[in-house]
Structure 1
Amino acid sequence: MIFKILDFLIIINAIQGVIFALTILFSKYFKNTTNIYLGISMLIGVLINAQYFMMKYDWYSHFPKLAIFEDIEFVLLFPVTLLFYYLKFLNPSFKLKAKHKLLYLPFCISVILNLFVGGHAHFKIYTIDNLTWVPTFYAIEYYASILLNIVILIVVYMLLFRNKSAIKILVHHNLKWIKLFYYFHIVLIFTWISLEILGKLYPYEFTFILWLVLTTFFYWVGYIGIFKFRLAQNRYEIRKVIDKEIKTEYKKPSKSKSSISDEDNKYLQEVKNILEHEKIYRNPKLSRQDIAEKLGISVGYLSQVINNNSEKSFSEYINYYRVEDVKKMITNKAFDKYSILSIGLEAGYNSKSAFYTGFKKETGLTPSEYKKRHLS
């Protein structure tokens, strides 16, 4: 009874996966080159589960011609489409080149040879006199699928953790999401490899339970991925719009009535110049140390200069510039199609809560309220 319930849940998960993948591929809201790779990967995952399900219930014995479907090694294709998803996520301008397309070759060779053997074994279209090479081919195919998956995991690891300069990563883009996706990818591949090994050592069948858990989490992570990618893509496009916009002067923070020394004023102007022209406040990890090092002064003296001039602490001063940046964007029609959150993150906030708290502290309004009041 338990097994039947779990099998039912696997079927529901497969249906969910198909709907989810088709939504990614054809919805106007999510459709883009990057999500296409994610959607295709999802469909491939569903097909791999379908292969397992049909084998478990011995469909191939009842419908021999369906066995040709079992022979197609989708595990040779799955890591390739996921790799392209990683590359496109990290670099929106990434385009497939001939060297990338070569990664499809193992899957194409596998399909061609399996169809050739299937024409003889399953459809009796022709006769192959010499089949001695087939077991060797299946062994090579099996180990090649494991090796390819491991190699691509290593390649993605180098991209995410070791060689970020090798690709054009989004400036200040938070990689937490894609790293989480990668960790789950590791779990998925190594669980599959472990089950393959256990299947050869023990007669017990627990694979379907693990596939149920893994596919459930995979669809969940994929769903989160759509939101995270859309946010990242918005920020990438916002940055391009900003570059085209005519720069306008910021309203300067009000000065206190106390006198400012010439030396203080010199460094204050340098701080303003860095913030207004280099826009370094858009870096969510910006610290007092970063600016102090640029100016060649101590962190304490930098705080003193800012506080004496603006009656603001360093964090409040940086928040001011970020809020001004957000205000300019949310009241500009060129940014209407982008979410307010993506605008806030691009202005330098590292989270939704920090953005809304910082904005309301400076203006007394939420970003949405400010936009609505300004437009009215």
Structure 2
Amino acid sequence: MLTNNIILILASLGLFQGIFLSIYLFTHKTGNKKLNVYLSLILLGLTIRIGKTILSYYMPLEAWQMNIGISGIFIVGPFLWLYGITLLKENKTLRHSFYLHLLPFILFISFVTIIPSKGDFDTFWNYGLVVLHLAIYLVISWVTLLKNGSKITLKKSKWYRSILIGVTSVWVYYLGNFLNYELHYIWGPIFYSFLIYAFTYLILNRNNFGLEKYDSSTLDRNNSEILFEKIKNLIEKENLFLQPTISLKTVSDKLSKNSREVSQSINENAQQNFREFINHYRIEKAKSLLNNLENKERKMAVVAYDSGFGTVTAFNVAFKKITGITPSAYRG
């Protein structure tokens, strides 16, 4: 009994978190509104499906109630695919033909009272069609990612891949349940609970994937990598990092690029902001000075200034952050 109560609590927490996250995304005003709505509907569909599993495990449900829960899967597939093509093929408008993809959901929900849901042969095949429906959209979505992933930023590609992995994992579990009727049935919602918390963390930290920060950017992954090579060549050739007042605008102007694109390129390819990127060069310069025996008696302030830092404090903080030790400890 205690174990069942713990399982119920864990599964219910995931269910309520899924509902909260769906509402949060649907009402979220920043970033790409369309993507937020699509992701909200994906999570809503999964939550409806998981909710059915939790309720049916602890109480008897009518056939129509079971079918309403199963219908959630018919929402997930189409919006998972739509989310992908909107994210990967940026600025793509929604065509009216897309609504045909929702026809299975509309038909299923319209006949919930007559669709069998009693664990018999007919139910087995109806459930199988639901599993197959999501499988088709998963395949289409993965193919869409493979074909278009290289055309967008690496972080957006990773973000969509994370979503696909999560939904695929849920599908694999229910496929196993379909092939082995009610084998560890309740563990699906528990797995979903952990998955939904992982999604919550990722969604609340979406700037780490560049989803909102560079939402309107036209700089794709290939051009981002090309620009990054130009940035590195410029900084290394002209030793720009040795200038204490070097700024993002200075580098952007020299490359005849806007600051937003330069910042995006550095962030995506070096996983650093502009200041961290420049400090990396400065610390490498400082390390070479500290390793030189001729500079053994040179004061740290001189090393800091000769490396491009404007203050000794900034030098010490950056050195410790990048190397893990202080400049004095490094010199030995």
Task: Give the shorter-chain TM-score range.
Answer: 0.5 to 0.7
| Pick aligned residue for 1:344 from 263, 287, 301 | 263
Q: What is the CA-CA distance between 1:84 and the residue it aligns to? A: 1.7
In the alignment, the residues of structure 1 paired with residue 44 and residue 91 of structure 2 have an alpha-carbon distance, to the nearest angstrom, of 24
Q: Are 2:82 and 1:156 aligned? A: no
8 A contact 1:18–1:46 mirrored in 2: yes
In the alignment, the residues of structure 2 paired with residue 311 and residue 351 of structure 1 have an alpha-carbon distance, to the nearest angstrom, of 18
Q: Are 2:80 and 1:82 aligned? A: yes
Q: Are 2:49 and 1:107 aligned? A: no
> Which residue does the alignment assign to 2:287?
none
In the alignment, the residues of structure 2 paired with residue 281 and residue 96 of structure 1 have an alpha-carbon distance, to the nearest angstrom, of 27
> Which residue does the alignment assign to 2:95?
97
In the alignment, the residues of structure 1 paired with residue 170 and residue 49 of structure 2 have an alpha-carbon distance, to the nearest angstrom, of 12
**Matched residue pairs, number?**
272
Query: Cα RMSD between the aligned structures?
Result: 4.2
> Which residue does the alignment assign to 2:188?
210
Q: Are 2:245 and 1:310 aligned? A: no
Deviations 1:311-357 (A, max 9, x none): 57xx99xxx896635799xxx9xx9xxxx9x9733456524436442
Q: What is the CA-CA distance between 1:287 and the residue it aligns to? A: 4.7
- SS of structure 2 residue aligned to 1:94: coil
Change (3 A) 1:18 1:172: closer
In the alignment, the residues of structure 2 paired with residue 152 and residue 281 of structure 1 have an alpha-carbon distance, to the nearest angstrom, of 30
> Which residue does the alignment assign to 1:179?
161
Q: Which amino acid aligns with 2:264?
A: L
Alignment of 1:189-208 (within 5 A): 189-199=171-181, 206-208=184-186
Deviations 1:162-208 (A, max 9, x none): x228xx943565522222222222221111111221116xxxx5221
- Gaps of at least 5 residues in structure 1 are 122-134, 241-279, 292-302, 370-376
Tell me the TM-score normalized by structure 2. 0.66
In the alignment, the residues of structure 2 paired with residue 235 and residue 21 of structure 1 have an alpha-carbon distance, to the nearest angstrom, of 23
Deviations 1:287-309 (A, max 9, x none): 58xx9xxxxxxxxxxx8x997x7
- SS of structure 2 residue aligned to 1:207: coil
In the alignment, the residues of structure 2 paired with residue 326 and residue 232 of structure 1 have an alpha-carbon distance, to the nearest angstrom, of 22
In the alignment, the residues of structure 1 paired with residue 223 and residue 134 of structure 2 have an alpha-carbon distance, to the nearest angstrom, of 40
Q: Are 2:216 and 1:231 aligned? A: no
Change (3 A) 1:15 1:326: farther
Q: What is the CA-CA distance between 1:284 and the residue it aligns to? A: 6.7
Tell me the TM-score normalized by structure 1. 0.59
Alignment of 1:29-44 (within 5 A): 29=30, 32-44=33-45
In the alignment, the residues of structure 2 paired with residue 227 and residue 140 of structure 1 have an alpha-carbon distance, to the nearest angstrom, of 40
> Which residue does the alignment assign to 2:55?
54
- SS of structure 2 residue aligned to 1:350: helix
How much identity, in percent, do the aligned residues show?
12
- SS of structure 2 residue aligned to 1:232: coil
Q: What is the CA-CA distance between 1:281 and the residue it aligns to? A: 7.8
> Which residue does the alignment assign to 1:71?
67
Change (3 A) 1:325 1:281: farther
Q: Are 2:320 and 1:324 aligned? A: no
- SS of structure 2 residue aligned to 1:234: coil
Q: What is the CA-CA distance between 1:96 and the residue it aligns to? A: 2.2
Change (3 A) 1:221 1:326: farther
> Which residue does the alignment assign to 1:146?
131
Report which of the two structures shows the higher radius of gyration computed on alpha carbons.
1
Change (3 A) 1:287 1:346: closer
Alignment of 1:226-305 (within 5 A): 227-228=205-206, 231-239=210-218, 282-283=224-225, 286-287=228-229
8 A contact 2:74–2:133 mirrored in 1: yes
- Gaps of at least 5 residues in structure 2 are 283-307, 315-332
- SS of structure 1 residue aligned to 2:111: helix
> Which residue does the alignment assign to 1:22?
23
